[in-house]
């Protein structure tokens, strides 16, 4: 494998911290530079780290000039729920940040760029069950609008500037190593923490709200597989549908109860219910499967067992 030099922007977040670990394992610690606006915290302290604010384009250009990266993973973003409370901030970070990165990548000859889109790019009139790769996209959140616009920018940079930019439309990502912040699917992470620490959880979505989800191990695998795939296998230059599973809050609660019988869930839907109701319930990811062999490894039962085992050990260690 040719030696890569990789920049991760927004490495301190839920996805960034685990993706940085995966990249360090694949490409060697010395070849991965993690950056964020603060830190390094947790796993990021064990490797190269620099402070970098993607909204300072001159600094970004300087950083790329100095370091000669071959790949950029640009993950800094405001998620759906926070975006509805801070729409201007969400638009600025999600949109300007992406364009600065794409521009800097072209300017400095970066070979590949990764940028995450989301199921939030779909909207209320999108086909909700087995949402296809190509379909109506009418997002109603600022986050979703920024993701749809971002997909179009990525495709534009590929067509007009020849930049090898690749993307996945992530469903809700569920991990236990770092908590998410400000998303609508965050309940599916919080529920495991609360099940172990308090044996109860008050859910901000209704019991029967189905959403597409994916275990973090699968998300890291999907991302690295996409980025390692030969360019001629990538037929989608906006963003690929991918999914791991679909479930609703009462189903994840039932799965947790199998291992923690005293666990209780209650429901108090808030503004995030409307966001969830505007998104697909399940995703058709056949194009990713055909193009570069995507296949998830975890279903709800396997994920729950893995998280409860590992998280209880982690919580005991930190107690």
Contacts with ligand AKB, residue ranges (CB under 6 A) = 79-80, 118-120, 143, 170, 172, 183-185
Q: What is the rounded distance in angstroms from the CA atom of residue 66 to the CA atom of residue 92?
A: 26
- CB 211, min distance to ligand AKB, A: 8
- CB 208, min distance to ligand AKB, A: 18
Closest CA to 71 of 20, 119, 37, 118: 20
Contact between 109 and 103 under an 8 Å Cβ cutoff? The reply is: no
- CB 303, min distance to ligand AKB, A: 15
Q: What is the token pair recorded at 203?
A: 């859910």
Conformational region of residue 237, where left means phi above 0, alpha means psi within -120 to 50, and beta covers everything else: alpha
Active site residue 157: no
Which residue of the set 73, 100, 143, 187 is catalytic? 143
In the chain the first and final C-alpha atoms are separated, in Å, by 42
Q: What is the rounded distance in angstroms from the CA atom of residue 149 to the CA atom of residue 138?
A: 11
- CB 116, min distance to ligand AKB, A: 8
Q: What is the rounded distance in angstroms from the CA atom of residue 181 to the CA atom of residue 186?
A: 7
State which residue, 33 or 137, has the beta carbon closest to ligand AKB. Answer: 137
Closest CA to 195 of 123, 261, 113: 261
Nearest residue to ligand AKB by CB is: 183
Q: Active-site residues: which are they? A: 143
């Amino acid at each position: 494998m040719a030696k890569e030099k990789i920049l991760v922007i927004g490495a301190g977040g839920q996805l960034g911290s685990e993706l940085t670990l995966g990249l360090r394992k694949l490409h060697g610690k010395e070849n991965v530079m993690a950056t964020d606006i603060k830190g390094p915290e947790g796993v990021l302290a064990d490797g190269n780290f620099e402070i970098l604010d993607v909204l300072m384009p001159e600094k970004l250009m300087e950083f790329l000039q100095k370091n000669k990266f071959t790949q950029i993973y640009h993950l800094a973003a405001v998620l759906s729920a926070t975006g509805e409370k801070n729409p201007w901030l969400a638009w600025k970070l999600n949109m300007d940040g992406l364009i600065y990165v794409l521009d800097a990548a072209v300017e400095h000859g970066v070979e590949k760029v990764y940028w995450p889109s989301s199921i939030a790019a779909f909207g209320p009139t999108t086909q909700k069950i087995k949402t296809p790769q190509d379909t109506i996209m009418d997002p109603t959140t600022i986050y979703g609008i920024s993701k749809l616009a971002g997909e179009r920018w990525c495709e534009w940079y590929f067509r007009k500037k020849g930049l090898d930019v690749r993307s996945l439309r992530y469903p809700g990502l569920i991990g236990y190593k770092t908590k998410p912040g400000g998303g609508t699917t965050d309940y599916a992470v919080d529920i495991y923490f609360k099940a172990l620490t308090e044996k109860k959880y008050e859910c901000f979505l209704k019991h029967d709200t189905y959403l597409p989800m994916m275990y973090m191990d699968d998300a890291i695998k999907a991302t690295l597989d996409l980025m390692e795939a030969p360019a001629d296998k990538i037929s989608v230059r906006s963003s690929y549908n991918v999914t791991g599973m679909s479930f609703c809050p009462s189903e994840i609660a039932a799965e947790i109860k199998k291992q923690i019988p005293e666990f209780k869930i209650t429901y108090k839907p808030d503004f995030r219910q409307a966001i969830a109701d505007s998104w697909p319930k399940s995703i058709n990811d056949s194009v990713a499967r055909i193009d570069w062999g995507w296949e998830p490894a975890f279903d709800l039962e396997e994920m729950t067992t893995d998280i409860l085992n590992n998280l209880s050990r982690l919580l005991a260690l930190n107690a």
